[in-house]
Each structure stands twice: as structure tokens, then as C-alpha cells.
Structure 1
Amino acid sequence: MNAIHGQHPTAVVAPGCLAKPDRLFDRESEWAALGTFAGDPHPGTDLGVVMGRHRQGKTLLLESLAQATGGFYFCGQQATEAEALRRAGEEYARHRRLARPVRWRGWKECLDALLALGDERPVPVVIDSFPDLVAASPALPSIIHGALRRLDRPPPDNRARLLLGGETAPVMTRLFASSSPLRARTGLILDVQPVDFRGAARLWGLDDPGLALLVHTVVGGTPAYRHDYVNDDVPADRDDFDAWVCRTVLNPRTPLYYEARRLLDEETGPWNRGVLHSVLTALATGRTTHGEIAGFLGQQLTDTSRALAVLRDRGLLRSQPDGLQPGITRHHIADPLLSFEHVVARPRRAALEQSDVRTVWEEARPDFDALVAGRGFAQVCRDWAVSFADWGLGAERVTASQGSLTDPSAKPGLDAEVVVRRTDGLLSGPLVSLGLARRDTGMDTHHLRHLRRILDRLDPRDRVGPVRLTLYGASGFSPELHSAQARGEVMLVDLERLYQGT
């Protein structure tokens, strides 16, 4: 069959037998979805979209799919339309093993030729970094729509599977919004997310859940960071964690040192980065509501709203209703590396480049423990509650969020880090569990009493069924709490259960 990027061709394999390449870590469900889409034998051209933030492995997925199926792959760049078409013609010639590159006069000719690859069999036609091409050729989405419509004419023999890849950004969101003509043509929308905290532990080869948690609060679940960004440096054990931080994320000689700033630049483009950095600092230091962030910035709520929208649209921010006061929206940084940057590295950038890194890290470690690792642990607990916990609800899904019965402007009082509710369509449903999360302090009966006080204050309509009180602890539980668990009064979740249990 055909080659890709000048490599030797691979045999075409039926989608049900498409083996995932060894170089792809995890991503079983994503690979299965792409294989099914690419190999769908039904007549008719189809369109798929693969989105996600930088460094999550979208390109690796799409390149691997093209190689495994004998499909076509082209990656766009920031360039003029003429250069992009010239590169696409060169890639097409390599794919078809033509003696000379093809010279197309426009994207219409290019798309017609690429989609014709599916005249004889189902074949993926991948155009990656699609937003870069649209920036130079704004009419490209309309041209694609027209090319797909032309192939609709009977008989629909063509079976090209056109896949458009790009970062989660306004371009992709706008092009494939519910009202977009392309959305109506789309048979697959795949959003490639960071791997979860359990997957991250496997990615880094960490069997100790305590060490895995610490590493996750620094680098999260971005696959690309594991090898090239730290020169394959993995902490040997918990005692090596501090030295590992100094060798990698705080070391100006490693790519990871610059990654948080580069990530913000790539995702947000020309937007006012000073404002965005200040918003991220506010979030990283515990200001999670709109008003708290605006107060930290010294800006009007409308100005803060625009900055929050930019970060949310780029996938850098999670926004969800407060678990106990749904009228309040709480925001959290989606990428742990950005939290680490704005709590530890950014405030000490000059010292890191002029002083001994170990001294700077020792001074920063209390802030890391309280703000980065502590909040990161709470988020891991919420992720566990949604993805791994067995709440006895069968196939019903749940949400997990931070919750408070205290006015956001007042001193924290009746707060819970893990409020679990059933989903009720697009809205939060009945309460399932109230939980506290503590990483660095042992938990005792006063934590359980705290949960009971919250439960007593709740609206009776929230308590349509039993509410499980849950304590999430990384530093152990008192004997009294273990006795309370034996009586069914509380559920205790430690690190072992987070990483291995339900």
C-alpha cells in the first residue's frame, strides 16, 4: 500500500484488528474510536474532528493511525496558503509514490484529490494543525464543506474518512459548534484529554502512590512531559522528590522549566498575558470565585470575565457550580504545571536564575505543600469520586465539585472539598456524598463532626436519599474514625484506595 512521510508502507488492517502501536501510552478508547471511524466500510464520505490541548498526543495518534491503515497524513504550519499547498502536494506525491510533487492551484483541487483516495476503500485522510491552515486560508472550512457535498451525489461510492486535528481553541470550537455547517457533517468528535492520575502513575512508572501524587501535582497527566521534557529523569523514591524538582522543573537547562510560560503563549496568542498570569496566580492561591479573582486583580467583573473566558476556551480552566451553592461558579486551573508555575516558580524566577536552586526550593516548599500539593490532592479526590468510586448507583453518573455554605467573601467555614451529586441532565442532581480532603494532616473525629454540621445545614430537598460522609486522607486516620467506618458512619479513602480501589 501507500507510504507516509517517506516510510515503508504498512499493511492495511481491518479496524477491529487494528493493534495499538507500542509508542502510544494508554489511549485505548481513543485508538479504538479512531480505528472504527477510519475503517467504517459503509459507503459515503465522513468527517471527524480530533481536538485537545498541546502535548496530549493528538499528532502521535493521528500519525499512528495513518501509518497503521495506509492513510494520508499532512500537518499544517503557520505559513502562506501557497506554501501550505506546496507542502501538501509534496506529501501527496510521497504518499502516492509519484515521481514529482503535485501543484494545486487552490484548496478545492487539493481536497478533491485527497478525498479521491477513498474511492476504492475506507481510508483516513488526516489534516493536522487545521487552525494554522485556516489562519492563512479563511475560506478552507467552506471549501471542505463543498467538497463533502459534491461527494454526496449518488451513488455515494467514496469512503474517505477526513480527519481534522487541532488544539482546543476558539477556531476549532467555532468551526464545529452546534450551528456550524461542518458540525452537521461530523461523524466523530474526539477530545484528547490528559491521562488521569492513575494513568499518570503508570506513565511515570511509579508504584508508590504518595510519590505518584507528588509528581502529579507538578506535571499532571500530560504524556509529552515524561521523556523529552525531563530527559527521562524520574524520582527514585519520595526522598528523591525534592532533588527531582530541582533537577527538572526548576532547572533552566531542561525544557520543562519553560513549559508553563510557553503553554500560556501558545494557547492564548496575543491576549494580554499579564492579566492572564494574574488570573492564574489568583486561582493558584485559592481564589476560586469570580468576585475573589476580580478583587485580586483590582479589576471590574466584566474585565475578569473576559480573561476567565479566554482561559476556559483554551482548556486551561475548569469551571463548575459550587457543590453546595449552585448559584456560585468556582474556577480551578486545569493543568497542575500552571499551578506550580504561579505558586512556586514565577514569584522566584530571578532567584532561580541567580541563586542555588535547592535553597530556593526549600523556601518555596511550604507554599508548594499548602497550595499546590494540597489543592492537587483535593482535585485527585474529586477525579476519583467521578471516575473510580463505586457509589452503588449502577450506570448513573456523578459530578464532584468543591462546596461551601459560607459566603465567598467571608472567612472559610462550612466547606467541603468533594461534594458528589448525581447528574440530572445538564444540572446537578441529588447529593450522594460530602467529603473533606486533607493531604498533610492526619484526620480525626472533628473532621467527621465538620461534615455532620454541613449535613445538618443543608436544604432537605438535597437529602432525597442517604448521603455518604467521606474523608479523604493522605496522612492516615485515627482509630476512632476506623471504628466509625466499621459502624457505617463514614467512608475513609486513603492513597492506596485512590490509586487502586473503588
Structure 2
Amino acid sequence: MVTLERPVDMFDREFEWDALTRFATDDAGGATLGVVSGRRRQGKTFLLRALCEATGGFFFGADEATDGESLRRIGSALADRVSAPAPLMFDDWYPVFDALLELGRERTVPVVIDEFPYLVRANPRLPSIIQNVLAPRRSQRDESRTRLLLCGSAMSFMGGLLAGGAPLRGRAGLELVVATLDHQLAARFWGVDDPVTALKLHAIVGGTPAYRREFARDDTPAGPDDFDAWVTRTVLSPTSALFREGRYLLADEPDLRDTALYHSVLAAIAEGNASRGGIASYLGRKSGDLAHSLTVLADCGLITREPDAFRDNRTQFRIAEPLVTFYHAVMRPMWSDLEHARGTRRLAQLWKIGQRRFVGNVLGPHFEQVCRSWTAHHAAPERFGGGLVSRVATGVVNDPSARTSHQLDVVAFSYDGDQERLLMIGEAKWGDTMGLAHLERLRRIRELLSAQDRPGAATTRLACFSMAGFSEQLVAAAGQSPDILLVGPADLYEPI
């Protein structure tokens, strides 16, 4: 395998680039298959085009077209590749894939088919055809070193391409999901140094690279004082490409037929209804009626299921795309006013109206999620007494004596041999200065967990996450006890 230098204009994506280059330069005999997926606008096409440029590979981008037109287009592209005097004519995909395997007869070469779901929509036989083309002991496959990469943005379709009894199950040597940038990488990508501004920005646009480059045209908040103006001119303005993006993300998924129902489910979650029963109550439906809708949204990557840390039968749902949350929580309730707004003054007025919902429905839950992500992926083990985090979740702890229950925003576990043990429990507050009352609440929860004989509960660390800071008394208490952890804005953006 050859080490390929990452393009200078590629931001991060080191993990993805290394995986692709290892796959594409593997000189082992026999053609192999790889699958690349991820939500739209994450840079998949950029990655794969760069790979083909670096290796002399073949790239074909599919369109929404009939099967016959796609066969003509790929025939023309293959003719250009082999310098044929006329377009190659195909009436079926078997000879197309044999021609793609022929490209790798003399040397290892990546062959990329981008937006593969478009082709399958016109010809559902394609996965089975590829299965047969790549069958073991088939001479065209065995004598080729083509590295065939299928790429697509329809997450439900791509997720099922290699699953269960799917034709390509067991055929792929690479399955790569190109994820969004996390909060630290997103801050670097947008060039925002202030952690509070960076988290506000991430709560709206998340870590999707295209939202800065193509959608916002490199318009970034100049600082904390420019953030509100940036929102009005870049997200809330009807002339901005970001304005309708929250609505259009649903249209990108071919499996979402009843978009009105799915928008309503997302709106319910954005309103703070995280349980199946809460969502059903918000929509005026029975809980069982939503099973299919929630499954489809999860398969599409628009929502995630988050099991309770302490109860296996309890699940909460969270919107995975921040812009969708922002749209449903802030924009959708005043959509008509935003559409007809003329001028920055009116948009600023509407944004002022929407700020309460932004703080309560967007920033608060997003901050909690970032705290969990930081705990799982960024926090140094020393913060937890040297323990390695194995799992992070939210949880509810019952207090029978008080006839109440306590919500924990962050619950971290580690492994002690074969046994999972509690490592840390925490509470996250966006706008509240945290004090001794918050610490006492965590201590009470720790006592309850110890009474339940939870492994590690007696020594678990207590974490307070706050963007507004901590009282002097809490800071003093943390200085005297190693089991108290205070995490502020700067900590969340501290490099690993």
C-alpha cells in the first residue's frame, strides 16, 4: 500500500483519507468493493474526487436519470477514460461493471460511482448485478485490482446496502461513514476562537462543512458581538441558501413519503418531547402509531435513539442535525413572517422574538449533547482519575423517599475487567451559574446509586458543566476535593 499525501485544501478528514487510501492502494489480487456514505454536504464527493486525482482513478457521478441515459453517460465516460474513438454503447450493467474491472487489470485503481442510489432507483437490480460481478472464482474479478467504491447520501438506503440478507452483504472490504465535524473541529473550520460563540454557532449549523463554504459563502461571525447579526443575515434571511435548508433535508431522503408527519415528529422532539409517549401526546396519536416513523427517521440519520443509562427499557430521541432543531424550534413557528421579512431591521426583531426559544429549546439541549461528546471523545482520562470512558449516556434516577426522580445529563462508565462501573455523573447548565446546590443534588444522586449497589457509584466523580461559570463556594469545594469536576467553555474546546 502507498501512503498518499492529504490534499492541502482538505480540512481534517485524516481518518477518512487514511482509510480510503489504504483501500485504494491495496495491491492484493482481486477486485474489491467499498461503500462510502454520509449525509449530504459532508464532503464525500470532495474526498473521492481527491482520491481519484491522487491515484489516477475513475470517477462517475450519477444523476437522477432513466436507466438508459445512465448507461449512455457511463459509456461516454469510459470511452474518454480509455481514449476510445466513440462512446461505448451498453444495454445492460453487466458489461459496464466488467469494463470497470478491466480498468484494474494492469494496476490497482479506484473506481468511484457517486450517488449510487440514483442508479438503483432506476434499476433495482444493480446490487445483485454487482454481487454476481464480484463473485469469487470469477476470472474478471480475480484478474482485476479495481477498487470499486459506491457512494451515496441516502442514509437509509446506504445503511441497508450491506445489511442482513442484502445482495452485497459480505462483499465489501470497506464501509466508511463520513460524519459531521465535532464541536472542536467545527470551531476551527469556521475560524471562531471564542468558545461561547463557537458553541452557539455549532448549535445552529453543526459540523457540516458545506454550510460555511457554499451556503454562507465564508461569512462567519466576527466575534461575540457579531453573532446576532450573523444569524439574521446568514440563517434567517430569505435570500440565504441556509434559510430553507432545514426543510429540504427531509426531501433528501427517498424513504420519507409523508413529510408532514415526519416534520411533526421532529417538531415534537424540538419542543422537548424526547420520549415516545411524549412525542405521541404532542401529536395526538397513540404511541404505537409512531414506531415506523421513528424507525425511518433513525435509519435516515435525522434522529438518534439514546437509551437510558440505568433502564434498558427507556429510550429518548434526539434530533441529530442541529439545523433541523433550529428550524423547528425557532424558524417554523414564525415561518411566514420570516419569508416576508424585508430588511435587516425586521429580521433582527424576529430574531429577538425567537431568542427565548433558541436558548431553551436549542442551546440548552445542544450544550448537554456537547458535554456528553466531550466526555466520550475529548476529556483527558486524568479528569476521571485515570479511568477510560467506555460509554456516555443520560439517565434518570428514582428517589423513592422523596417520591421524585432526578435527571442526569451526563453519565460516564468505564470497564473494570468484565464489569462496567460508574465513572462520573454530571449536570449541564447553559445559562445558570452553578453553585453548591447543584453539587448537593449530585451527591444525593450518588447516594441513591450507591444504595442500588451500582458498581463504582460510591467513588464516582461529580461533574458540573456550565457556560455561565461557577460560584466561589463551588470553586473552593472543587479545589478541596478531587472527586468534583468543573467544566467550563474553555475546557470543552481544549485540544486533546
Report what 2:379 is aligned to.
Answer: 389
> Cα–Cα, structure 1 residues 155 and 216, in superposed 2: closer, same or farther, change >3 Å?
closer
Aligned-pair CA distance for 1:153: 4.3
2:37 to 51, 56, 62: 51
Query: Structure 2: which amino acid aligns with 1:418?
Result: V
Is this contact kept in 2: 1:220–1:336, CA < 8 A?
A: yes
Report what 2:157 is aligned to.
Answer: 171
Report what 2:70 is aligned to.
Answer: 84
Is this contact kept in 2: 1:104–1:110, CA < 8 A?
A: yes
1:26-45, aligned counterparts within 5 Å? 26-45=12-31
Query: Structure 2: which amino acid aligns with 1:48?
Result: G
Aligned-pair CA distance for 1:376: 0.9
Report what 1:475 is aligned to.
Answer: 468
Report what 2:279 is aligned to.
Answer: 293
Mapped pair 1:496 → 2:490:
yes
2:2 to 1, 4, 15: 15
Report what 1:4 is aligned to.
Answer: none
Query: Structure 2: which amino acid aligns with 1:26?
Result: D
Aligned-pair CA distance for 1:441: 1.2
Aligned-pair CA distance for 1:406: 5.3
CA distance in structure 2 between the aligned counterparts of 1:429 and 1:78, rounded to whole angstroms: 49
Aligned-pair CA distance for 1:152: 4.1
1:357 to 316, 336, 347: 347
CA distance in structure 1 between the aligned counterparts of 2:112 and 2:97, rounded to whole angstroms: 11
Is this contact kept in 1: 2:93–2:129, CA < 8 A?
A: yes
Mapped pair 1:159 → 2:156:
no
Report what 1:5 is aligned to.
Answer: none
CA distance in structure 2 between the aligned counterparts of 1:424 and 1:39, rounded to whole angstroms: 40
Is this contact kept in 1: 2:93–2:126, CA < 8 A?
A: yes
Report what 1:108 is aligned to.
Answer: 94
Mapped pair 1:403 → 2:395:
yes
1:230 to 202, 216, 232: 216
Is this contact kept in 1: 2:309–2:396, CA < 8 A?
A: yes
Identity %: 42
CA distance in structure 2 between the aligned counterparts of 1:306 and 1:405, rounded to whole angstroms: 29
Aligned-pair CA distance for 1:78: 1.6
Query: Structure 2: which amino acid aligns with 1:472?
Result: F
CA distance in structure 2 between the aligned counterparts of 1:52 and 1:155, rounded to whole angstroms: 28
Is this contact kept in 1: 2:154–2:254, CA < 8 A?
A: no
Report what 1:420 is aligned to.
Answer: 412
CA distance in structure 2 between the aligned counterparts of 1:412 and 1:33, rounded to whole angstroms: 49
> Cα–Cα, structure 1 residues 269 and 252, in superposed 2: closer, same or farther, change >3 Å?
farther
> Cα–Cα, structure 1 residues 370 and 174, in superposed 2: closer, same or farther, change >3 Å?
same
Query: Structure 2: which amino acid aligns with 1:494?
Result: G
Mapped pair 1:120 → 2:106:
yes
CA distance in structure 1 between the aligned counterparts of 2:416 and 2:168, rounded to whole angstroms: 29
User: Deviations for 1:82-138, whole angstroms, at most 9, x for unmatched residues?
Assistant: 001111111112222333211112100100001111111111011111111111111
Q: Which one is further off, 337-346 or 181-190?
A: 181-190
Mapped pair 1:443 → 2:434:
yes
Query: Structure 2: which amino acid aligns with 1:454?
Result: I
1:236-251, aligned counterparts within 5 Å? 236-251=222-237
SS in 1 for 2:453: helix
SS in 2 for 1:262: helix
Aligned-pair CA distance for 1:170: 2.8
Report what 2:447 is aligned to.
Answer: 456
CA distance in structure 2 between the aligned counterparts of 1:469 and 1:239, rounded to whole angstroms: 34
SS in 1 for 2:73: helix
Aligned-pair CA distance for 1:205: 0.5
Aligned-pair CA distance for 1:237: 0.7
User: Deviations for 1:46-83, whole angstroms, at most 9, x for unmatched residues?
Assistant: 11000111111111111111111100111112211100
Is this contact kept in 2: 1:399–1:428, CA < 8 A?
A: no
CA distance in structure 2 between the aligned counterparts of 1:286 and 1:478, rounded to whole angstroms: 28
> Cα–Cα, structure 1 residues 406 and 284, in superposed 2: closer, same or farther, change >3 Å?
farther
Q: How big is the alpha-carbon RMSD for the aligned residues of Structure 1 and Structure 2? A: 2.3
> Cα–Cα, structure 1 residues 154 and 219, in superposed 2: closer, same or farther, change >3 Å?
closer
Is this contact kept in 1: 2:255–2:296, CA < 8 A?
A: no
CA distance in structure 1 between the aligned counterparts of 2:354 and 2:271, rounded to whole angstroms: 13
User: Deviations for 1:141-199, whole angstroms, at most 9, x for unmatched residues?
Assistant: 11111111166449933211111111243322222104334121110000111010001
CA distance in structure 2 between the aligned counterparts of 1:416 and 1:237, rounded to whole angstroms: 32
CA distance in structure 2 between the aligned counterparts of 1:123 and 1:256, rounded to whole angstroms: 37
> Cα–Cα, structure 1 residues 448 and 397, in superposed 2: closer, same or farther, change >3 Å?
closer
Is this contact kept in 2: 1:268–1:310, CA < 8 A?
A: no
Report what 2:364 is aligned to.
Answer: 374
Is this contact kept in 2: 1:118–1:159, CA < 8 A?
A: yes
Query: Structure 1: which amino acid aligns with 2:283?
Result: L
Aligned-pair CA distance for 1:23: 3.0
Mapped pair 1:211 → 2:201:
no
TM-score when normalising by structure 1: 0.92
The count of aligned residue pairs is 485
Query: Structure 2: which amino acid aligns with 1:478?
Result: S
User: Deviations for 1:442-479, whole angstroms, at most 9, x for unmatched residues?
Assistant: 11011111111211222533233631110111111112
Report what 2:318 is aligned to.
Answer: 332
SS in 1 for 2:463: strand
List gaps (5 residues or longer) in structure 1.
Answer: 1-13
Aligned-pair CA distance for 1:268: 5.1
Mapped pair 1:431 → 2:422:
yes
2:10 to 14, 20, 24: 24
CA distance in structure 2 between the aligned counterparts of 1:196 and 1:89, rounded to whole angstroms: 40
SS in 2 for 1:257: coil
CA distance in structure 2 between the aligned counterparts of 1:363 and 1:323, rounded to whole angstroms: 36
